[in-house]
Amino acid sequence: MYSSRRFGYSDDPWFRIGGFAVSTTAFVVGLGVVSMIIWGIEGQFGPIFRELVLVSENYQLGSVMEGEVWRLVTWPIPNEPHFWTIILFAIFYMLGSQIESLLGRWRFAFFLVALTLVPAVIVTAVEAVAGVNGYVAGLRMVEVGVLVAFAAQYAHARFWPGIPGWVIAVVIVGLDAIQALGNRNWFALIVLACTVAVALLGIRAFGYATNLTWIPKVSLSSSSNQSSGSSRASRSRRRPRGRDHLRSIPSPDERVSPEMDALLDQVASQGLDSLSRKQRRQLEAHARRLRRRR
């Protein structure tokens, strides 16, 4: 529906397995399916599970506070085998595919890493200061972040049975917050709050959800735009050009006006499509003059 190619970011898959294209979204879901199988084999607190979850020291499973820093990024991997987990994967795949198509595979992968790492770092810092206890594992929180980003960009997209996306996001986040609050699970509440914040700030930083002006736009957007411009420029330089808009090496008797020089620079950096009709006529006239001189 929305292609990232127009913004200069590749939405090609990372690789293919037969005829199946493995995107970032598909890879994450596939990893979750494998984790369910492993969970079923070894149990909830098996040797692999206990090494991946983000957990406070009180659980005596090992923790970031004990130097096991990899838990900051591995906690979404272990997923409990359950019917609702499959539903979660399906929703993540549908929404994640849309966001990945919008952002491109690299930026979407970065977005998922931010949804994983930032809440984990913050809740670990709060644990060190305030002594909150708890653990978090599975794709659930990352899926909430993707849902929030989707609802921020496509606020009026309709979910069955015609409910706007922003309403679905508010209800799900609200229910999670009430449940964590009722259980006095401050660990989960902090992770949830940080996930929502990262999702909103992230989608704004990439230059989307422009209607949400109350969300600050961090400086990441400027670097993204520069990257987009560089990508477009590199594609323009690689794009085969017709003879009418090749910039030839002028002979001593050929003088290029500053205006035409700027026009040629624009074609080199942004492509022929960036020219207006008037600029195209000027460029064609310049090309004809060069051919006549030769």
- Give the DSSP letter string of 224-263: HHHHHHHHHHHHHHHS---GGG--PPPPTT----HHHHHH
- 2: Cα separation from own chain's centroid: 14
Cα distances (angstroms) measured from residue 238 to each of 191, 218, 232: 45, 32, 10
Q: Tell me: do 216 and 243 sit in the same domain.
A: no
pLDDT, tens only, 135-145: 899 999 999 99
Tell me if 156 is assigned to some domain: yes
Range of the domain at 8: 4-220
pLDDT score recorded for residue 139: 92
- Among 220, 255, 270, the domain-final residue is 220
pLDDT score recorded for residue 289: 78
> Pairing state of beta strands 158-159 and 15-17?
unpaired
Q: Both tokens of residue 153?
A: 């960009």
Tell me if 257 is assigned to some domain: yes
pLDDT score recorded for residue 243: 43
Q: Tell me: do 17 and 99 sit in the same domain.
A: yes
pLDDT, tens only, 140-160: 999 999 999 999 999 888 877
pLDDT score recorded for residue 21: 78
Helix residue ranges, H only, 104-183 = 105-130, 140-153, 165-182
Q: Tell me: do 130 and 213 sit in the same domain.
A: yes
pLDDT score recorded for residue 255: 58
pLDDT score recorded for residue 225: 47
**Structural domain tally of the chain?**
2
Q: Tell me: do 213 and 283 sit in the same domain.
A: no
For residue 56, the one-letter residue type is: S
- Alpha carbon distance 65, 4 (integer Å): 40
Low-confidence ranges of the chain (pLDDT < 50): 1-9, 221-250, 252-253
pLDDT score recorded for residue 285: 81
Q: Tell me: do 247 and 191 sit in the same domain.
A: no
Q: Tell me: do 136 and 216 sit in the same domain.
A: yes
Q: Tell me: do 198 and 276 sit in the same domain.
A: no
pLDDT score recorded for residue 269: 64
Please report where in the chains the tokens 């810092």 appear, as a residue: 125
- Other beta carbons within 10 angstroms of residue 238's beta carbon come to 7
Cα distances (angstroms) measured from residue 276 to each of 165, 259, 270: 38, 14, 12
